[in-house]
Structure 1
Amino acid sequence: MKYVRQFLIILAISLAGEILKYILPLPIPASIYGMAILFAGLMTGLIKLDSVRETGKFLIEIMPLMFIPAGVGLMDSWGNLRPILLPVAIITVVTSITVMGATGLLSQWVIRRGRKRGVHHE
């Protein structure tokens, strides 16, 4: 029953993100709104980490499974992608490296800042 309750909490937050996407005229995906709501709830203590932890871990573990439909869609669109494959590949590699670098630098900055303040992370 605990897992159902945790899943319903996550689902309710996702629904709130969908509602915000519908109400606000910004080009932001509903999933981003949902993550922001979950983050704010966890940081303020309105949502306790223990109330979503196990189901969140499970959803992260099965995340690769969610990419199968996207992969099938890419294979189905091969005829359309073939002429622009090289530019798409270059853009994908460059943006992936940029995102990894920026994420690494930001993570190092946050860790250093936490050490200066005496905050210990798991």
Structure 2
Amino acid sequence: MVQGFLILLICQLMGEWLMVWFGWPIPGPVAGMLLLLIGLMCYGRVPDGLRLPAEGLVRYLSLLFVPAGVGLMLFAETLAQQWLTILASLLLSTLITLSLTGWLLQAWETRQYKHKE
């Protein structure tokens, strides 16, 4: 289990380092998880040493939503004043995300289909 946590922490550290080095506005942990995804895709499967710690972290994932809920209560007045802007940005970002995801899935399936022929 220690090895799995070490892999997760190294990926996060590499993501943080790369984002600082390149100056890109992407959170380091997100970049680290992308690096982990690339590594797992190259490896072809999730090793058991990484699966156990990851499942343990996912089990307690709901605890990460507590600070966000507290933040919503703390900024309730600001949210009430800016609700239309927030709603518009949420709807627009959801539409863009769904469209981009659908387009990427179609492109990936087309590529996979051509690869099999």
Task: Confirm or deny a common fold (TM above 0.5).
Answer: yes
**CA positional deviation for 1:31:** 1.8
* Number of aligned residue pairs: 116
User: Structure 1 residues 107, 56: CA separation in 2 closer, same or farther (over 3 Å shift)?
Assistant: farther
Distance of 1:4 and 1:30 partners within structure 2: 22
Change (3 A) 1:110 1:64: farther
Distance 1:112 1:24, change over 3 A: closer
The Cα of 1:74 is off from its aligned counterpart by: 1.4
TM-score between both structures, scaled by the size of structure 2 = 0.76
Percent of residue pairs identical: 32
Q: 1:30 aligns with which of 17, 28, 32?
A: 28
Structure 2, unaligned stretches of length 5 or more?
A: none
Structure 2: which amino acid aligns with 1:55?
P
Paired residues for 1:1-122 under 5 Å: 3-45=1-43, 49-50=46-47, 51-60=49-58, 62-118=60-116
The Cα of 1:94 is off from its aligned counterpart by 2.1
Amino acid at match of 1:49: V
Structure 1 vs Structure 2 CA RMSD: 2.7
TM-score by length of 1: 0.73
Runs of 4+ in structure 1 off by over 6 angstroms are none
Q: Deviations over 1:57-107 (max 9, x none)?
A: 444454343222112201210112211111211210221122122212211
Q: Which ranges of structure 1 fall in alignment gaps of 5 or more residues?
A: none
